[in-house]
Structure 1
Amino acid sequence: MMSALSITTPLEFCGEPVPVEVQEVRERIEKELLLSLWHRPQVILWLKRSRRYMPYIEEVLRSEGMPDDLKYVAIAESALRPHARSSKGAVGFWQFMNYTGQQYGLVINRRIDERRNIFASTQAAIRYLSDLYATFGSWALAAAAYNMGEVGLNAEIVEQGVNNYYQLYLNLETQRYIFRIIAIKLILEDPAKYGFYLAEEDYYPALSFDRVRVQCFKETPIRIIAQAAQTHFKVIKDLNPEIRGHYLPEGNHAILIPKEGSENFQARYRDLLKHWSSNQKEQTYLVKEGDHLTAIAERFGVSLASLIIWNRLNPKAPIHPGDRLIIYPKESVPLTVDEDENGNNSTSVKNN
């Protein structure tokens, strides 16, 4: 093990020399190597996932003329997990915060979160890193700014009078950040050196899919898309982790489906959508004093789970008088009578 920690020189990150002749730099790389190697299952998962996601990241980096080493930023950020979420609210493969993700063109709302989409988030992350490099003139500093924010890093550069990452005193997380990426690079470039021997079949297969256009004239259940693709709800969710919940919002969407489900998909989708729409009887219920979700669900003959999904409710949060709930009651359930804000009775039914 100790012999594997020996660092051969020269060592580079994104084509820039790493000053391993400086004792502190060498020690920090060794520390991150040891910490990563101690968590062997994590490293194995890095390796297994790399065949699934890295080819696309590498392709985009090549097309933009950017260093290949930047692909290791995604591993440091999320371990290549689409649903990774930090305590600060960063989400997805590249751990974008809400504001920054939207600034770089990602759709982030109640229904869609493209931070979880490997294609959209990679494009955004590489544009962001390119902008950071243009600002700081160093890939190490650009990656550090990606971690701590450009304003904070620039303030430290000005205050300390130093613009070399390896000479800056930064917060602990950012002090470790580049060294952790370098450790990941060393391990993934030569896993056998560190005792990781994976056969070809051990790696997770590359993503296999066809991309189809789905037009939703209103919120549409994902199960309709799954049925049209001749697959299951879970498969659509796994291929499209950016979709939140059980419905696609109104609009035109590019959706990934299994290759075997793409033939005649559009015809099946149109038929299923027409059938679903013709059977929908949407009703709005005005919550009254003393109401609770279980009783409302029983009253309309629907499941509590359906009521929660239709209205995107938090099961643990209370409902309040005046709240409006969307319900798709069974045919046998009579129309409910609601009171408006003036105390007048009314029914609210919408046939779609």
Structure 2
Amino acid sequence: MTLTIRDDARRDIQKDVDALTQHPRYFLVKAERARTYFPIIEKIFAEERLPDDFKFLALQESALVADAVSSSNAVGFWQFKDFTAREMGLRVDDEVDERMNIVSASRAAARYIKQCNHYFNNWIFALQSYQMGAGGVMRAVGEGNLGTRHMEITPDTYWYVRKYLAHKVAFEGAVSTKPTLQVSKMDGGGRTLAEIAREAAMDESKLREFNKWLKAERIPADREYAVILPTGEVVAGFGTLSTVSAKPAPETVAKQPVAEEAPINGIPTIRAQAGESIRMIAERGGISVTDFLHYNELTSDQTIGAGQIYFLERKKKKAEVETYTTRAGDNLWSVAHRFGVQQKSLRKFNGLNESDQVVAGTVIYLAGRKPAAGETAG
């Protein structure tokens, strides 16, 4: 299939590229992970006959950190939830979590993407399915677009697809050099990592760092498990999902890993961390402070709430659901924020003025005008 990227979409993608590359140290660590793990992923994708470019999706999903965990409990290199992982043949239990095994997880990801492409006959829709599921994509694109062979990327193209293209652009040129760390794989054969470390004459703690998928002391013998053998120098920060900000967080605040948050109403989001200011979270999200305030309908004198979800793009004019019944503590901003809808749309739909207050038990219309007295909704 062929893609055409419109100029206005190119500008949006370039903003994401700039955000990915703006902190050289963090970017170089991610590039080093890619140089290290991509040869394994490329071999598996070739065996599975999956287009090689899908390897950049692992950078987008987890930054290639083995034990990355999202807010929705997706885990590992390819961010599988436990039930999906098991459906794709991965073992997830008290002894083994193959989501953290680059070999097993990459093969499962390849098969999942191929499965989606078999359904849609379109690699872009298959890519989109990785984030929102096949059912979500079908509802979004409709059966009439199945098998589309040419697609135009516009600013309205699903954010996840544009983000993927940004990762490909940002990292493609940075992964061509030889890594300082090489990894190979072997079958564990029912042994312990301590035994393998002695046989390979390597540091056991280093071996464990690259094999976090093993929770038990001994590798199970029920089937073949790929043990990753690292050789060479490990760069600082290689195995951790770190954050970068203009100012360090206070020493009393524990740094937390940044994980990709689930979109709300199709809009990408970010979760605020303890101690972050508006400037810091905007920078981490790769947008300006002005845009952050605008997208989240905030003013510069308001504070950021730790754990609160914020938007990285403009809220939409209507929600994916029709109505919401307010609860104690709700206000119009919180309802709009919950569903990713602009407050002015809610005022229009519900006949509210700027000064009107929302009380508990009120039915708020989220996707269209509230029926007048005597009218029937829909």
TM-score normalised by L of structure 1: 0.56
Aligned residue identity for 1:86: S
- Could you tell me how far 1:214 is from its partner in structure 2? 1.7
Distance 1:228 1:68, change over 3 A: closer
Deviates more, 1:237-246 or 1:127-136: 237-246
| Alignment partners' CA distance in 1, 2:228 and 2:138 | 44
Cα contact 1:90–1:97 (8 A) shared by 2: yes
Aligned residue identity for 2:208: K
| Alignment partners' CA distance in 1, 2:116 and 2:172 | 26
> Which SS does the other structure have where 1:18 is aligned?
strand
- The aligned residue for residue 320 of structure 1 is none
Distance 1:103 1:168, change over 3 A: farther
> Which SS does the other structure have where 2:142 is aligned?
helix
Q: Which has the higher helix share?
A: 1
The match for 1:99 among 79, 83, 87 is 83
> Which SS does the other structure have where 1:206 is aligned?
strand
The match for 1:86 among 43, 57, 70 is 70
- The aligned residue for residue 181 of structure 1 is 164
The match for 1:27 among 2, 7, 11 is 11
- The aligned residue for residue 214 of structure 1 is 190
Distance 1:108 1:42, change over 3 A: same
- Could you tell me how far 1:91 is from its partner in structure 2? 0.8
Distance 1:250 1:47, change over 3 A: closer
Structure 1 unpaired stretches of 5+: 1-14, 192-197, 216-220, 261-352
Distance 1:253 1:199, change over 3 A: closer
Structure 2 unpaired stretches of 5+: 232-378
After TM superposition, the runs of 4+ consecutive aligned structure 1 residues lying more than 3 A away are 161-170, 198-201, 208-212, 221-233, 245-255, 257-260
Distance 1:70 1:257, change over 3 A: closer
| Alignment partners' CA distance in 2, 1:138 and 1:199 | 28
Aligned pairs (5 A) from 1:1-352: 16-21=2-7, 23=8, 25-158=9-142, 175-191=158-174, 203-208=179-184, 210-214=186-190, 223=194, 226=197, 231-244=202-215, 246=217, 248=219, 254=225, 256=227
Aligned residue identity for 1:128: Y
| Alignment partners' CA distance in 1, 2:186 and 2:113 | 29
| Alignment partners' CA distance in 2, 1:158 and 1:257 | 42
- Could you tell me how far 1:233 is from its partner in structure 2? 3.8
- Could you tell me how far 1:40 is from its partner in structure 2? 2.9
Distance 1:210 1:98, change over 3 A: closer
Distance 1:156 1:238, change over 3 A: same
Distance 1:206 1:257, change over 3 A: closer
Cα contact 1:62–1:68 (8 A) shared by 2: yes
Distance 1:158 1:253, change over 3 A: closer
> Which SS does the other structure have where 2:227 is aligned?
strand
**CA offsets, 1:152-173, max 9 Å, x none?**
22122239x7667768998xxx
| Greater RCO (CA < 8 Å, at least 6 residues apart) | 2
- Could you tell me how far 1:73 is from its partner in structure 2? 0.7
- Could you tell me how far 1:65 is from its partner in structure 2? 2.6
- Could you tell me how far 1:127 is from its partner in structure 2? 0.4
| Alignment partners' CA distance in 1, 2:55 and 2:129 | 16
| Alignment partners' CA distance in 1, 2:100 and 2:64 | 10
| Alignment partners' CA distance in 2, 1:234 and 1:125 | 28
TM-score normalised by L of structure 2: 0.52
- Could you tell me how far 1:225 is from its partner in structure 2? 5.4
- Could you tell me how far 1:229 is from its partner in structure 2? 5.5
> Which SS does the other structure have where 1:207 is aligned?
strand
> Which SS does the other structure have where 1:214 is aligned?
coil
| Alignment partners' CA distance in 1, 2:229 and 2:190 | 15
- Could you tell me how far 1:205 is from its partner in structure 2? 2.0
Cα contact 2:13–2:163 (8 A) shared by 1: yes
Distance 1:177 1:80, change over 3 A: same
**CA offsets, 1:147-194, max 9 Å, x none?**
1111222122239x7667768998xxx932111211121122334xxx
Structure of greater Rg: 1
Distance 1:168 1:98, change over 3 A: farther
Cα contact 2:35–2:176 (8 A) shared by 1: no
Q: What is the identity percentage for the equivalent residue pairs of Structure 1 and Structure 2?
A: 28
